[in-house]
Amino acid sequence: MKILITLLFLFNANLQAETILLQAKAYLDVDSGKLVEPANILVEDQFIKDINPETVDPSWRVIQLEGQYILPGLMDMHTHLDLDYNDGFGTIITNESASKGAIRAAKNAEKTLMAGFTTVRNVGQVHITGELIGAALSEAEQAGWIKSPRIIPAGHMISITGGHADLSLGLSENLFEPEPKHGIVNGVADAIEAVRYQIKHGAKVIKMHATAGVMSLEDTVGAQQLSEEEMQAIVAEANRHHMKVAAHAHGTEGIKAAIKAGVASIEHGSLLDEEGMKLMKKHNVFLVPTTGLVDFVMAGIDNNNPKIAAKAKYVLPLAKENLAKAIKTGVKIALGTDSPLIPHGQNAYELSAMMDKGMSAVDAIRSATLHTAELLGVEDRGQIKTGLLADIIAVDENPLENIKSLEHVSFVMKGGVVYKIKD
């Protein structure tokens, strides 16, 4: 019995995480927007235990981040980890199995984590299957199987027949007709069934397509697709399960209908007008603008389908103009990249893209920390603060003076585990 007790004690001791003291030049208090010196961050059991402790215990592991600046881990509210982009997605959507898509997603999740993004929303997969790749990826991350950010998965995007998320659009009608479990709905009953299927199989957020889109083969980019009744049913069903809804929406009327239906965020918001901005502020709806992708997509847009190219050339410049107005108006903004349109691992490019439209450096960082935490409805991350998760990154330069430094993080910790450190 004594031997058994000793073995159990040793086993439990091995499960305990080591205590780590990070020593850096300064850390960014994202709430106040000020740098705090020095930055001695004590980490234990996944959490920040103390900041600038008065004494140093010799048993602690000390990690010197000399001359570096510490920030909370960044968060991206609009990713598609199972997808890559090379002037189109066609071969992935039509030829790739869900199992290969899951492997692709794991590859891209690691790239995203190493770029300093410790939490992401995966807002819809592109593989036509009943299986939810994002949910499986989230479970694998929690089990420690893969190197990955924390993932809030959406499952299949909910859209109408022939809509932006109908992945059979452009294919022969003899090949495949998606059903509500794949996210394709026609009417309120289908919409409720689609939401329930995603939740049953692991979705933690619901993504719906209020309007047409750019990177699909509909004739229009801004036309409303889901009806008001369908949107209201989707939001009501999600809310019954204590989940939020993200609405892809480019067109003005579809944006307003989604806001009135009760969504938590508008994704893209390209043709957002003054009335829509007022509604977003009134209902505390976040804008996830995904503006940096314009610079990547437009560089090779003429290599794409002519219909897609024409839509992109029309709407993406307008999206940039309206983002500038939204920033000036004070609409709450949460960072989202629509990666892979901004390539996986280059997610921080979105920060400087938003600054180009009038956002300050500290507000750009808040959009990826404080605001994303608020959008997710979590209070355990998004700041360097005692008691919060030890999701911590570091960069070599003051990010308030050079936001581009966040595109080259030198240190990544998630939940007290070090994933990247500069030699």
Q: Tens digit of pLDDT for each residue in 345-375? A: 999 999 999 999 999 999 999 999 999 999 9
Digit-coded pLDDT (tens) for 58-105: 999 999 999 999 999 999 999 999 999 876 666 787 778 889 999 999
CATH number at residue 28: 2.30.40.10
Residues 57 and 189 placed together within one structural domain of the fold: no
Residues 247 and 222 placed together within one structural domain of the fold: yes
Closest CA to 226 of 234, 214, 216, 218: 234
Secondary structure E strands in 136-244: 150-153, 159-160, 184-185, 206-209
List of residues 6+ apart from 251 with CB closer than 8 A? 210, 211, 212, 220, 221, 222, 223, 224, 270, 271
Q: How far is CA 80 from the centre of its chain?
A: 9
CATH number at residue 289: 3.20.20.140
Q: Is 174 a residue whose pLDDT tops 70? A: no
Residues 170 and 125 placed together within one structural domain of the fold: yes
Residues 65 and 101 placed together within one structural domain of the fold: no
Bigger pLDDT: 91 or 139? 139
- DSSP letter assigned to residue 264: S
Structural domain boundaries enclosing 29: 2-72+383-421
pLDDT of residue 95: 78
Digit-coded pLDDT (tens) for 294-328: 999 988 888 888 888 898 999 999 999 999 999 99
The pTM assigned to this predicted structure is 0.94
pLDDT of residue 10: 39
- DSSP letter assigned to residue 332: -
| C-beta atoms surrounding 229 within 10 Å | 12
pLDDT of residue 2: 37
Residues 334 and 252 placed together within one structural domain of the fold: yes
Residues 80 and 155 placed together within one structural domain of the fold: yes
pLDDT of residue 9: 37
Helix%, strand%, coil% for the chain, nearest 5: 35, 20, 40
- DSSP letter assigned to residue 76: E
pLDDT of residue 168: 66
Residues 85 and 108 placed together within one structural domain of the fold: yes
Position 405 confidence tier, pLDDT thresholds 50, 70, 90: very high
Q: Tell me what the mean pLDDT of segment 188-216 comes to.
A: 96
| Number of domains present in the structure of the chain | 2
Residues 299 and 338 placed together within one structural domain of the fold: yes
Position 14 confidence tier, pLDDT thresholds 50, 70, 90: very low
Percent of the chain with pLDDT over 90: 81
Which residues is 347 bridged to in the sheet?
A: none
Residues 182 and 116 placed together within one structural domain of the fold: yes
Closest CA to 164 of 251, 252, 101: 251
pLDDT of residue 8: 38
Residues 263 and 233 placed together within one structural domain of the fold: yes
Residues 279 and 317 placed together within one structural domain of the fold: yes
The answer to whether 267 and 78 have CB atoms below 8 angstroms apart is: yes
86-92-93 Cα angle (round to 5)? 120
Residues 251 and 291 placed together within one structural domain of the fold: yes
pLDDT of residue 104: 95
Q: Is 20 a residue whose pLDDT tops 70? A: yes
